Chains A and B, each alone.
Chain A
């Protein structure tokens, strides 16, 4: 019998009526036990009235749709993810490295990207860091690699052949190789390519030329619940 079903409400309502009738019957009777039977009868009727009213309200508002809900059982586990180490984590010897990921040739850059790590990258192995993706000027020598404290800074030098579509694999490759966040990347560059890269990313993944102070914090893996559409 469900908590919000009509049968349970009918049952308690019937029990209330029956209890009321019983109290009416025993009221003038009972002999020496009369005070006790009356008090008990009144209390039982009152409790049943409250119970029935509560069930009606709960059916309408659906506060507790099931017995499980009433017991505080949500039937769902919160998942504590673990932050996966980057493929390059055990090879990083300095705060600056030349990054040669798989599929680099398809990006058609003037030279491999330069990655600058925050000073505490190696001391915080369970943490993912925010990302600054800097587009250096096309063709020329470009600006020197940037360094942003508390962020992994990736400086790339696109050529005329570099496309936003080709670069769309960059976030996945970087997440594979280093511990970085997947949201709130700061993309720096005046070229249309930088704007096109941002547009090509999922909503919230990258922002064009936001202040460095707006970068999210470096955090360990969050607690998560199943997303919509996941079988429970």
Chain B
């Protein structure tokens, strides 16, 4: 609908410009030109927003199953006392959650920048992929959390605690787990918690598992980076918030890493190869490469099922 409206505006302003040119003076002509340009900019912005889901028009998670016995995708609001952030989150509950009293392993799935978790839900069809992998027995029933990593859509936190800015890392590693433990039947132990993400969210997943190995056992990176690419404010983007630096200079923790990238995604491929080369025992490393596809949803759609399967095999099972 928005797309149609913006395209109609482009057509309308072009028509106004063409028909009004001979009937107006210079200042009005300038206004027509500016209006026409603005309509084009608006149309482009709407399409970019469609691609990134940075400002989604609908923030409620639409559950893709009408099966009363199937999985659910819930929309919740997480109020974080530790971080001071209050942000929405989407929660995938597997079909098995509906019955019994088992406690489930948990995966935090992080989104890219610019963007929101809705990319997982819409462009990457994550609920469908999770249902399919669990039904096929390739993945254990797992609770998957889709938190926001930034309170301001155009502020890139890379899941760090920005100096004089949002405490995204605290939100994701303290508040979100506390919320999940308080509201859902999830396993509280480290062996049952993992991370994943695409693009900036992939950097987040690797950085957070390396920074919090007592909380997370494994992480899967879909087209990630070795560095945050932002100024954290304390220089830590070059040291402790830099996965490459951590792997090179600090003792490596006993965690599992799955690094996936597209061969023609130059930056992500180079960074992922660099990270892979730095990994050594006790890090357990698995790599996955798709031939081409760039830095796009098509690549992440292809990677997500293998990444979730791998994560499940490296996390503790549901506990009755």
Contact = CB atoms under 8 A, between A and B. Distances in A.
Interface of A: 27, 34-35, 38-39, 41-43, 46, 49-50, 53, 61-66, 68-69, 72-76, 78, 126-127, 130, 150, 181, 183-184, 202-205, 207, 210-211, 213-230, 232
Contacts, number: 188
**Residue of A66, A130, A203 contacting most chain B CB atoms (<10 Å):** A203
Given A150-B317, A203-B281, A227 B288 contact: yes
Interface string B251-267: 00010100110111111
Contacts of A27: 21
B86 interface: no
A215 B317 contact: yes
B18 A74 contact: no
Given A65-B292, A214-B189, A38 B17 contact: yes
Contact of B138 (A66, A73, A183, A222): A222
Interface stretch (B87-95, B167-175, B299-307): B299-307
Given A222-B313, A225-B260, A232 B289 contact: yes
**Residue of B254, B267, B291, B294 contacting most chain A CB atoms (<10 Å):** B294
Size category of the B interface is 35 or more
A206 to B, nearest CB: 11
Interface stretch (B7-15, B72-80, B154-162, B240-248): B7-15
B316 interface: yes
B140 A219 contact: yes
Interface of B is mostly: mixed
B216 to A, nearest CB: 13
B44 interface: yes
A133 to B, nearest CB: 17
B24 interface: no
